[in-house]
Amino acid sequence: MTNTAERFVENSSQKSFDIPHRNIINHNIGRYDTAVERGLSRIVNLEHAKKKGHQIKWRVMENLDKLLPEFESNFQKKGGKVLWANTVEEATAEILSILQKANAKTVIKSKSMATEEIHLNEFLENHGIESIESDLGEYIVQLLGQKPYHIVTPAMHLSKEDIAKLFHEKFGTPPDATPQQLTAKARELLRDKYLSADVGITGANFLIADTGSIAITENEGNARLTTTFPKIHVAIVGIEKLIPSIADLDLFWPMLATHGTGQNLTVYNSIISGPKQENETDGPEQMYVILLDNGRTELLAQKDQRQGLYCIRCGACLNACPIYKNIGGHTYDTTYSGPIGSLITPHLKGMKEFKHLSYASSLCGKCSEVCPVKIDIHKMLLLNRRDAVKANLGPKSEKIGWQIWKRGMLKRGFMDMFGGKMKNFLLKNFFGKYWGPKRELPKIADQSFGAQWKKEHPSK
């Protein structure tokens, strides 16, 4: 059985040369780039906004032990309940307990990467509970039996023809249906689910400490329906999503929208502060917020890399990354893909199994450049590599190789000991596979530079 790193190398090697896939991704990211460039041009002082966002998130991480209880207290004052989950198992157990107490059989979900992180759909299915995704992109990949391809646009890897074919096979729509027809069909299928679902489950883009609220941003209105019609609303949110004040949304909502989709502001932005009150006509009768750790405090303890927790999940670094654009989101085999996923996953899921992701980078720095909260992502990836080496997680062959390289670099005579033919033989037979099957290693000259110089300049 292949391990995670071996699967990654094998799958990325195949995906890199999947031309139809690359065409779809280049087309979709090209449209994204155009929209984001236009959106960012409307921000008067982008650099100042990024620095302010970075500073706020720094303050949050330095005061997480104070802000989380503040959020909990304020949320509970309005009738909501806060549950703490250290692990995936604790989170799913809490959700199952809520559903079983309500005798719930159906769940409607809005888009949430935290629920993907705890594999909620599969968990509920195993316990006989129907869970339907209401976000169109999530609904499409759910129908395909796939995981989200991208943290913002789950079905980015599919063309409109792919989706038309899927709907034709599943629901009998015309094989050449237009995007408008496909959207109308999805609306028709999902409307009854909102009305009949026992529980609505969401994530949240932000936890607001001073008001005890969650903030959800979306473009389809499905999250509003998910949080309004069912009698019970459960929100699963990573503890790093905290912001100190509702006033901070003035910065974070536009920055999330412009970097995520190029919009000035997403179409629907909701602030939910608990279950329905006596004087209110809409909303659930019960509301729970599950605060998910699942390795986040381990990352928080890493002073050099804790910047990874500043992320607001805009997806900008994925769209900028030359590696992501070539190997695709599914190849990472993690909930969070791309540069930010490569940074945080080794800490959330284990350095030993996922250290290879920190090497899946050209270190071009584009991810750090586009980040709306100025996370120094490419530097953090280097620090992950450092930690992997310090923990002796690399293969013995790599360690031996670096020892030989070090000796060669320290003494020129050692490098010149082997002729060019011998070096070419060694490179081809022992290192050729690292260069990939589609490329050939460059040839080394038969003589070293020093030997050639002496031959050309015998008197010098």
Going from the C-alpha of 191 to that of each of 101, 268, 276, the distances in angstroms are 25, 18, 22
Angle among Cα 12, 15, 19 to the nearest 5 degrees reads 150
CB 262 within 8 A of CB 54: no
Angular region, 175: left φ>0, alpha ψ -120 to 50, beta rest = alpha
Hey, what are 193's tokens? 């689910």
Query: Side chain identity at 441, as an amino acid letter?
Result: L
Alpha helix (H) residue ranges in 127-244: 136-144, 160-171, 179-196, 222-228
DSSP string, 323-334: HHHHH-SGGG-S
Q: Which residues of 137-158 are buried (b: 16+ CB within 10 A; e: fewer)?
A: bbbbbbbeeebbbbbbbbbbbb
**Partners of 202 in the beta sheet?**
235
Question: Cα 255 from chain centroid?
Answer: 17
Cα dihedral 101, 207, 294, 61, rounded to 10, equals: -150
Tens-digit pLDDT string for the chain (460 aa): 468 999 999 999 899 999 999 999 999 999 999 999 999 999 999 999 999 999 999 999 999 999 999 999 999 999 999 999 999 999 999 999 999 999 999 999 999 999 999 999 999 999 999 999 999 999 999 999 999 999 999 999 999 999 999 999 999 999 999 999 999 999 999 999 999 999 999 999 999 999 999 999 999 999 999 999 999 999 999 999 999 999 999 999 999 999 999 999 999 999 999 999 988 888 899 999 999 999 999 999 999 999 999 999 999 999 999 999 999 999 999 999 999 999 999 999 999 999 999 999 999 999 999 999 999 999 999 999 999 999 988 888 778 878 877 887 887 777 777 667 777 887 777 776 667 677 778 888 887 777 788 888 887 6
Q: How far apart are CA 64 and CA 297, in angstroms?
A: 10
Alpha helix (H) residue ranges in 16-159: 19-40, 46-62, 64-77, 88-101, 113-117, 120-126, 136-144
CB 212 within 8 A of CB 76: yes
Q: Which pLDDT score is estimated for 230?
A: 96
R_g of the chain computed on alpha carbons: 25
Q: How far apart are CA 338 and CA 111, in angstroms?
A: 19
Domains of the chain: residue spans and CATH: 1-42+318-394 (no CATH), 48-294 (3.40.50.10420), 397-456 (no CATH)
Query: Side chain identity at 428, as an amino acid letter?
Result: K
Contacts of 323 (CB under 8 A, 6+ apart): 339, 360, 361, 362
φ/ψ of residue 242, rounded to 5: -65, 140
Element holding 81 (H helix, E strand): strand 81-85
Q: Which pLDDT score is estimated for 117?
A: 97
Reference 333, options 320, 322, 342; nearest CA is 342
Alpha helix (H) residue ranges in 246-360: 249-260, 296-300, 316-320, 322-327, 338-349, 351-354
* pTM, rounded to two decimals: 0.91
SS3 state of residue 442: coil
Question: Cα 197 from chain centroid?
Answer: 28
Q: Which pLDDT score is estimated for 1?
A: 46
Q: Which pLDDT score is estimated for 437?
A: 72
Q: How far apart are CA 429 and CA 426, in angstroms?
A: 5
Q: How far apart are CA 140 and CA 252, in angstroms?
A: 28
Q: Which pLDDT score is estimated for 426?
A: 77
